[in-house]
A and B are shown apart, each in its own frame.
Chain A
C-alpha cells in the first residue's frame, strides 16, 4: 500500500476532471455554439485523457480496453468501485 497515496491522488484527479467534463457536456447540449464552453471541453478532455492514461500505466484500468496485464485479468480481479477502496 506504499503507493496508495499516489494512486489515490491520481484517482481523485481523474474524478475531478471527469466531473468537469460531465458538467460541460450537459451545458454544451443546450449551448452547442458557446465558444467558451467548447474550449473548456477541449481542456478537460485533454486532462481526462492524461489521467486515464496514467491510471492505465499504474495498472488501474478504468475502461476494459485499458487492461495491460497479459498474465491475469486485472479488470475483474481488482475491487469494484462500490467497495469504497483506494
Chain B
C-alpha cells in the first residue's frame, strides 16, 4: 500500500527551458541506472528477503526512489514545457517529440526504452545486496556525468541532492550486507544463499 503526499521530496523550480539538458537527465527516469528501475529493483527483491530489517530497508529505499523518479520527471517537464517548434528542432528534441510530444516517457538518453533486463532480482541475499550497492554507485556516476554536462544552478541543485542520496543508500545497503552476514551461520564462510535454508 502506498499513499501520495502532494509535494516533491526536494523542490524543483526551474526558470529556463533547456531541451538539451532534458534529453540527458531523462536517463535518470528510464535509463539503466535510473530511479524507476532502482525502485522496481528494491521493491521486487524484498519479498524473499529473509531478514526483516533488510526487507524494511528495501521497502523504504524503494519508496524514496519513487519520490526521486518524480523529481527527475519534474525536472524534465519543467525544462521542456514552453518550447517553441524552432527550439524543438534546433535542440534535437524533435526525435523524442515526434513520438511523445512533451509527455514523459521512460527511456535512456540514447533512446533505449526502459527495460527490466537492466536490473536483477536474484533471490539470494548476498547477490542482491551487492547488486543494490553497485546500482547506487552506478546512479552516483550518472549524476556526476550530468553535473559535468549541465551547469544551470536551478537544475544542479536538485541533481546534487539526488547524488548525495545515492551515497547514503550505498552506505545503508553496506550496513544491510553486514547485518545479513552476521545473521548467517559463522561456518558459512563463502556466504551461500540463506534464502534457501
Contacts and interface: CB of A to CB of B under 8 A. Distances in A.
Contacts of B61: 26
B3 interface: yes
Interface in B69-83: 70, 73-74, 77-78
B115 interface: no
A19 B8 CA distance: 10
Of B6, B64, B78, the most chain A CB neighbours within 10 A belong to B6
Interface stretch (B95-103, B119-127, B171-179, B183-191): B171-179
A6 B60 CA distance: 31
Chain A interface main SS type = helix
Interface in B1-54: 3-14, 53-54
A59 to B, nearest CB: 12
A32 to B, nearest CB: 6
A75 B70 CA distance: 18
Interface in A1-54: 11-12, 14-15, 18-19, 22-23, 25-27, 29-32
A70 interface: no
B111 interface: no
Given A26-B168, A30-B53, A82 B6 contact: no
B147 interface: no
A84 B12 contact: yes
B150 interface: no
B42 to A, nearest CB: 12
Given A25-B60, A82-B78, A30 B8 contact: no
Contacts of B7: 11, 14-15, 18, 62, 81
A26 to B, nearest CB: 5
A81 B172 contact: no
27 contacts: A11-B7, A12-B11, A14-B7, A15-B10, A18-B7, A22-B9, A23-B168, A25-B60, A26-B60, A26-B61, A26-B168, A26-B172, A27-B172, A29-B172, A30-B53, A30-B175, A61-B6, A62-B6, A63-B6, A64-B3, A80-B6, A81-B6, A81-B7, A82-B73, A82-B78, A84-B14, A84-B74
Interface of A: 11-12, 14-15, 18-19, 22-23, 25-27, 29-32, 61-64, 75, 78, 80-82, 84
Given A26-B60, A62-B7, 9 more contacts: A11-B7, A19-B9, A19-B10, A26-B172, A29-B176, A81-B74, A82-B74, A82-B77, A82-B78
